Structure 1
């Protein structure tokens, strides 16, 4: 590589698309949902990571549990559809949590026990190294992406936040594509309203994030993820646009710098949750986080 080539911008890394539905259908048909990948003692889990976070989608049977002993910071548990769980953490609980609920779990020891079978979604930061090491796509992060900012420093809270439990139906959706955004000390999780039928193709929302990553987890229906790598001066870096059709469940990782948008195309109900590797600054500035009051600093 010449000196001039070394000074050229580094292109964004490619997106990663993981279809989970085929694995689930095979395991379900065989009556063996416990076969597959595991998160703690979860019945059946898929784990995929970005640079700053890791996502676990778990089928949890009644009586099965997820246990974490020494998580270094907050993580999110989304209880989906008909699932029901009991959550204990930070000396609180067990708290009964029904489907369509989001829980922010404090640092330290936590335990989730299934009451009624169903899917739960766990989102940890990359500080949770024990969980991170189980991600199936870890090789993609053998070399750090220089475009991605480090996780924000953990700062003291005004008061102990404890276990946060939210029924998403209790909150009005906000934003251009209506969602319910929640935050932890380090991440954003945006639970979108369900959409029925294909989206209006005259109202697409292509955008990019310069220095943080996004993941989209499809919960229901079908989507097309449209991803464009911006051109650089180096022709060899150019890539054709991607238009990737995914079903549910699936996990898509979109590295920093890629222009992207997601379009529901299923004839019935379509729904997803987006994860971001920071508390999104634009959401902070616009006061969009549902649980924002718990993260206000007590000093100036």
Structure 2
């Protein structure tokens, strides 16, 4: 799909592989946390859960102190701290790190503990191998059967120097257009985009598709309209009506492949959307300089092949 020439995504290379056309489609998932009660209420915070095919998203509104622990976690996971007023003490084996808000943390497999303090939002991202958390998702029933067209998650190569707690400051300049801040680990890519002040320029929308992976858009400020259109096939029964779904913050939209999609910020104030992919995106990883921590995490063979 075309991008505005000023958008760096206009330079992305297309996939020339011949693929069989899809014959079935899943709907988008919309989880409006502001409209539903939290799944877990504890002294120190309230927590909601949602999921996609390959991931679980845990969204917490922290007000005090909380502790999250994982035992025998099979793979790497993410802790995202968008608010400066939150601090975290992270332990994984013999490794320990203390971090402030405005930080992205990758936590290694195995046993780990995250002790949180302050007031603000905390997001954890784990693969769907975390079955105990996946079962808590408000949309868990939607994934009782595998969604069509989504490839299974294959972890990327181990990080340089082995697994350990890795923390990245989010207070770094984004790209010019689009305002991306891309980080990846073995299981996730997080696009911590810049804040959009005011509505999006409707002359510079960016409709595009993904062949075989979901896009999870987490909105933590403002309001967005998610425009989604599914392909037509020869089977009329497989056709789906367009979505033009308006959602405030906080909410999650999981966009299925290969739907055409673009998201439009519409609030007059600050709008902030974070995109999440499991596993990391090959096309973004092929772009020189796009992934800010690429030196720590080798690319998958598909990136260099």
For Structure 1 versus Structure 2, the TM-score category normalised by the shorter chain is: 0.7 to 0.9
- How far apart, in 2, do the equivalents of 1:272 and 1:97 lie? 23
Q: Give distance in 1, aligned partners of 2:64 and 2:95.
A: 18
**Equivalence for 2:69:** 67
Aligned pairs (5 A) from 1:157-176: 157-169=159-171, 171-174=172-175, 176=177
Once the two structures are superposed, residues 47-97 of structure 1 have per-residue CA deviations (whole angstroms, 9 ceiling, x without a partner) of 111001111101223222111122111111111224412232323565332
* Counterpart for residue 281 of structure 1: 282
Runs of 4+ with deviation above 6 angstroms: 39-42
Gaps of 5+ in 2: 1-19
Output the CA distance in 1 between the equivalents of 2:74 and 2:175.
Answer: 31
Q: Which residue of 2 is the match for residue 203 of structure 1?
A: 204
1:120-157 residue CA offsets vs partner (Å, 9 max, x unmatched) = 01111112222222212111111112411111145444
Identify the match of residue 54 of structure 1 among 53, 56, 60.
Answer: 56
Residue 8 of structure 1 deviates from its aligned partner by: 8.1
Structure ranking higher in helix proportion:
1
2:252 aligns to what? 251
> Cα distance, 1:286 vs. partner?
0.7
- TM-score normalised to the size of structure 1? 0.86
- Distance change (3 Å), C-alpha of 1:153 and 1:105: closer
Question: Structure 2: how far apart are the matches of 1:269 and 1:99?
Answer: 19
The answer to whether the aligner puts 1:192 opposite 2:212 as a matched pair is no
* 2:136 paired residue number: 134
- Counterpart for residue 120 of structure 2: 118
Q: Does 1:226 pair with 2:227?
A: yes
State the superposition RMSD in angstroms. Answer: 2.5
The count of corresponding residues between Structure 1 and Structure 2 is 282
Q: What stretches of structure 1 of length at least 5 have no aligned partner? A: 1-6, 25-35
Q: TM-score under structure 2 normalisation? A: 0.85
* In structure 2, distance between residues paired with 1:40 and 1:182: 31
**Which segment drifts farther, 205-214 or 103-112?**
103-112
